Structure 1
Amino acid sequence: MRIIMGDLLTGRRILDVPFTAASWSVELNGPGTVSATVDLKDPTVRQLDMWNAAQVGKTFLAAVENDVILEAGPIWARKWERRDGKLTLEARGLWSYFDHRTLLPNIGDRPVTNPETGEAEEYANTTLKNLHLGTIGKRIVQQSMTWPGGNLPIVFEDDKPGEHERNYRGVDLSIIGSMLENLTQVIDGPDIAFVPQWAPDRLGIQWLYVSGDPRLSSVTEHVIDMSVPASPVDGLSIDESGSKLASLAWASGGRSGDEPLVERHFDTTLIDAGYPLLELVDSSRATVTEPATMRGHAAAAAVNGRLPLSVWAPTLHTGGRGEPRIGDYRVGDYLVFKSKGELFTPDGRHRRRIATMSGSAGNDFIDIGLGASYG
């Protein structure tokens, strides 16, 4: 594994980091992490001038395996231990940069509110119409790049057709990272990712903004047979919870006029199977104002509530026993586990989606978090 660092604003001036320990993680619809520890007693490391070369908020750190950039983003923290001469650098994926950017057009030094009336200025608002939700996210990011110092090396997918609309008030000073997350969480919202990759001349890196319809995943499913002696599955934990079981689901939190907006959906699947009545209340929909949309959230909760919430977390060997290499897996991809004669899981094929991955230097295993599914 390689750890590289360079200039965040340009993606250039790449240096290899001679680390003593390093780790990485990637996350679906959010920033992963890259961590590296270096020994400043090493003359080679001292020549890099880490005080200036690895500045917080200015320098990116990237983890590379099999020539694939797994994750890359700005260094947000560093810790120096004089006693042992070790410096630890902690970075997060590029999504984290947009947790430090507000959703405003480039208004220069003009005020967001009128100095005389105190009313919000319309020129500070962002209105996006008749677009795919992923393209709305794209427009938000592109708008942020018009500010001085905001033009990071990001390339964009083509626009996608859609009929969605978003109106953002500048006076709210919304954080772009949160707005992107909100787009992924609406009903049938798209996956959004900043995928790090080599620049065409390989003298720097860039990030590709991509969105799903609604899912981002490769065409190929990764099939893993747990029943064969050479199975790459070194460990597997399954956490199952009945916290979301429900026949009657309520959704509330938005407002229509001055009254709370509350909708429900009743599903008899569990009752027909002999379960007692179970209810679920989702009061997190503060921005929903349409009853039909709120009913959709209630219906989705009731349908999902037919089965317990199940989270699979396998540890996979990557040492060449026929399994895909690190770099062949991507968050959003699907793993299919073939089970036969297991102590707990029933025989058959179990399809789960990769939500997180993590690994470390010198380790032939990767830990995978498979997205919560029902059943």
Structure 2
Amino acid sequence: MVVAPEFRVFIGNMVTGSITADLPVASLSWGIRLNGAGAIDITTKALSEELRSKDLRNITATKKNYLAVAYGDTILEAGPIWKKHYDVNTGVLKLGAEGLWSILDKIKALNWAQIVGGMAVTRTSLDFTGLSLGGVAREYVRVSIFANPHNPGLPIVLPAVAETGSNERHHKGYELPYLGDLLRKLTQVEDGPDIAFRPRYNAADLTRIEWVMTHGSTASPLLYQVGADWVWDGTTEESGVSGIGVAEDATGMADRVWQPGAGSELEMKLASAQDLDLILNAEYPWTEADAASKDVEDQGILQAHANAGMAAARRPIETWDTTVQASTNPILGEYEPGDFAMIIVPDDHPMIAPGPRRVRIMAIDGDNSQKVKLTPAPMPAGV
């Protein structure tokens, strides 16, 4: 299978960001995710002419090295290689990697200043006050990676300063929380900020890459493009839209959401939220849902989780997938997960009302070809 020439697949060192080799690939699949890691999977001929002079065993060492895919000048996704398989019969080498968030899921968030000072880990604590949620996210990363004397670091570009605000977070050392999990929880509370680690070429040294940490602000918690919505017009062949699929799921619907927190039995923290609109006005049966946050002790944070859960449970969820051309405007690399788009549904679509629909892109996936799959955010059905 031929890879479109606009794509570049390469590998490098996770600690320094240095690019060590470009890979001639036989097959490629990649994805980008909002508030998470996308996956990259490739196959290559280990004994190909391009790789014969390379120390392939070392430069593809798992965890030590990253795998990256770029389209034109834009790195779509890059992150540590976690899986490698060589088939001696075919000479095919398979590499599987995930975006930077995947390594943050394997780093503990601890107060290294206290640990280095001789305090037992179980007695340490992380305490952040007077910050926005995005500011807390920045400090999580700074303390967990750059304050750890044993961590050689990662080429992450942090926001210049921690954004101030009215939020606080406290974590005991005995909880042994993971950095990636703490970041993910910040995005899941009511008005929680988007958090991204976007790979790019280092402007001062194009033989290296780095990941730029960005987050939404208190005033604007979402990360999305500057300017107008991207437009894909499914009513014209020139738009590059080749299909709009849709699935509907009501299994998560609820009229009340319960959010248990820390503690047990009579001492357990508990929050809830409800919406009776469908019960009172549309003849729907009553259902309930719960989502435990057993490590949450703060009642306000627990209620924010409950409110967010209720907002998501009000209606059946409709999920689209739209296939577009990478080389048709807007060009792949211009848009990112989190951006807003206007998708114009054709008149003959059997399941979706025709006309323009504003959506938010949550995932972007592709392969060797110019076909790109867009997955908008799940949306209430029929809206």
TM normalised by structure 1 equals 0.90
Query: Which aligned pairs between 1:293-372 and structure 2 lie closer than 5 A?
Result: 293-320=301-328, 323-341=329-347, 342-361=349-368, 363-372=369-378
Q: Distance in 2 between matches of 1:135 and 1:21?
A: 40
Counterpart amino acid of 1:274? A
| 1:294 Cα deviation from its structure 2 partner | 4.2
1:170 counterpart residue number: 173
Q: Distance in 1 between matches of 2:262 and 2:311?
A: 21
Counterpart amino acid of 1:20? A
Return closer, same or farther for 1:251/1:102 CA change in 2, 3 Å cut-off.
Answer: closer
Q: Distance in 1 between matches of 2:57 and 2:308?
A: 51
Deviation per CA, 1:52-71: give whole Å up to 9, x if none.
Answer: 11111111111010110001
| 1:319 Cα deviation from its structure 2 partner | 3.9
Counterpart amino acid of 2:128? L
| 1:31 Cα deviation from its structure 2 partner | 0.9
| 1:317 Cα deviation from its structure 2 partner | 2.1
Query: Percent identity at matched positions?
Result: 29
Report if aligned partners of 2:43, 2:92 keep a CA contact under 8 Å in 1: yes
Query: Which aligned pairs between 1:1-375 and structure 2 lie closer than 5 A?
Result: 1-106=7-112, 107-108=115-116, 110=118, 112-113=120-121, 120-121=122-123, 124-143=124-143, 144-146=145-147, 147-158=149-160, 159-201=162-204, 202-213=206-217, 214-219=221-226, 220-255=228-263, 258-320=266-328, 323-341=329-347, 342-361=349-368, 363-375=369-381
| 1:365 Cα deviation from its structure 2 partner | 0.4
Return closer, same or farther for 1:13/1:249 CA change in 2, 3 Å cut-off.
Answer: closer
Q: Distance in 1 between matches of 2:324 and 2:192?
A: 30
SS of 2:268 mapped into structure 1: strand
Return closer, same or farther for 1:266/1:191 CA change in 2, 3 Å cut-off.
Answer: closer
| 1:318 Cα deviation from its structure 2 partner | 2.5
Q: Distance in 2 between matches of 1:90 and 1:347?
A: 39
| 1:155 Cα deviation from its structure 2 partner | 0.8
| 1:13 Cα deviation from its structure 2 partner | 4.0
| 1:2 Cα deviation from its structure 2 partner | 0.5
| 1:50 Cα deviation from its structure 2 partner | 0.6
Q: Distance in 2 between matches of 1:39 and 1:236?
A: 35
Q: Distance in 2 between matches of 1:351 and 1:215?
A: 15
Deviation per CA, 1:234-268: give whole Å up to 9, x if none.
Answer: 12221111223333333334449943334444433
Aligned length: 364
Q: Distance in 2 between matches of 1:62 and 1:332?
A: 20
Counterpart amino acid of 2:343? F
Q: Distance in 1 between matches of 2:108 and 2:310?
A: 35
Report if aligned partners of 1:245, 1:278 keep a CA contact under 8 Å in 2: no
Report if aligned partners of 1:249, 1:279 keep a CA contact under 8 Å in 2: no
1:116 counterpart residue number: none
Return closer, same or farther for 1:95/1:291 CA change in 2, 3 Å cut-off.
Answer: closer
Q: Distance in 2 between matches of 1:13 and 1:265?
A: 50
Deviates more, 1:283-292 or 1:151-160: 283-292
SS of 1:91 mapped into structure 2: strand
Q: Distance in 1 between matches of 2:261 and 2:109?
A: 24
Return closer, same or farther for 1:73/1:294 CA change in 2, 3 Å cut-off.
Answer: closer
| 1:290 Cα deviation from its structure 2 partner | 4.6
Q: Distance in 2 between matches of 1:130 and 1:218?
A: 28
Report if aligned partners of 1:196, 1:205 keep a CA contact under 8 Å in 2: yes
Report if aligned partners of 1:5, 1:15 keep a CA contact under 8 Å in 2: yes
Q: Distance in 2 between matches of 1:104 and 1:254?
A: 20
